[in-house]
Amino acid sequence: MDIINKKIIAILCIVELLYPAGAGAFQRVYLTTAQGTSFTIPADWSDVNTIEAIGGGGGGASHTTAGNGGGGGGEYATISNVAGLSGSVTVQVGTGGASGANGGDTFFNRTAGTAGTCADTVSVCGNGGALGSGATGGAGGSAGVGSITFTGGSGGAGNGTGDNGGGGGGAAGPYGAGRNGGAAIGNTNGGGGGGGGAGGGLSTVGVNAAIGVGGNGGQNYWLAGGGSSGTGAGGNGGNATSSGAGGGGGGDAGEGGKGGDGWEWSFATSSPAYGKGIGAGGGGGGSGNGCVAAGNNGGVYGGGGGGCDGTNTSGPGSSGLIVITYIPSVEPSARSIRLLGGVRLLGGVRLLYRPDSPFNFMFVFWTILRSETS
């Protein structure tokens, strides 16, 4: 083995000694509505952290009038390096609004206040989307608490003339604001508006309905996945076909499609599946006695529900989410195996073999190196 290769191997092994594998690996925790109101700070918690919150999506307007507006999408908020936490902290994950109800606010580390909203003293808070009210679409969540916030999309307007519902607004996400739901059309043979896409990027608003045709669902971050529009009598809108896209609006007397779930943070396919950086799409609007199936729902997490006609129930919004990411204060100890008695470096330091090291393949050369230099 030539002297250059020997030096390269020695340098790589010293780097591994100074910067062992796994050092600085982050930990991530997801809090849903099942969490309750308390979170226990982990024993290895550090002040190097990021807390993200998405408010619950608002429900489509209650079916007390003809042609109801869609619900607004939840707001995204984040803050980094929250210091001094220990014990347990008060949290809240906003619920999705039922038909005719606001989405709940999502917050982390409330230290004062009892309102259960972003008006309390909290470290970070994403406002829930507002309910649709009559034919008016609900506003997306906004004006929360955080160093970075993105507004949820507003619900699309319904229309009493044709008794058609507006699309739900898309939820905001780490990459940007949610998009607005599409509006219904004022025609007795009309359609419902498409649900809004979510999460910034190339995402688009839900398409407004036309005569006899619902609006297409808004596209997601990659300009893809919006649910197809329902066409003609009884034509149901399609569900979103990709994460973060909006559901399609129903045609004449057609059901709106479901908004696409988010695609944020976790790439795991195991259950429970959390959204994997993009926000969730809004549900499509239904029209003319068409909201009888399980459609119109906002996507997980924070999508607004689609509006419906004046006879059937509008779609609900989806619940919010808290994502906690931190660098552990103490790295978990790794098993070390001494190779050939260890390799003694300057100062008497012994180089130890670590099975999880990205450089462990280099140690097969140490026998050669030791024999040639002995």
Q: Dump pLDDT digits (tens) for 250-301.
A: 766 677 777 777 665 554 444 444 443 355 666 666 665 556 555 578 888 8
Distance of alpha carbon 326 from alpha carbon 328, whole angstroms: 6
Beta-bridged to residue 350, according to DSSP, are 344
pLDDT at 280: 61
Distance of alpha carbon 144 from alpha carbon 167, whole angstroms: 24
Dmax of the chain from CA atoms?
93
pLDDT at 234: 55
Count Cα neighbours of 99 within 13 Å in the Cβ-side half-sphere: 21
Beta-bridged to residue 39, according to DSSP, are 89
Per-position DSSP letters for 290-357, written without gaps between them: ---SS--PPPTTTPPPPP--SSSPPPPPPP-EEEEEE--SSPPPPP-B-STT-EE-GGGPEE-B-TT-
pTM of the model: 0.79
Positions in the chain whose pLDDT score sits under 50: 15-23, 267-277, 332-374
Per the rule left: phi > 0, alpha: psi between -120 and 50, beta: everything else, 69 is beta
CA 4 to chain centre: 50
Please, are residues 215 and 209 in contact by the beta-carbon 8 Å criterion? yes
| Closest by CA position to 180, among listed 300, 281, 301 | 281
pLDDT at 63: 72
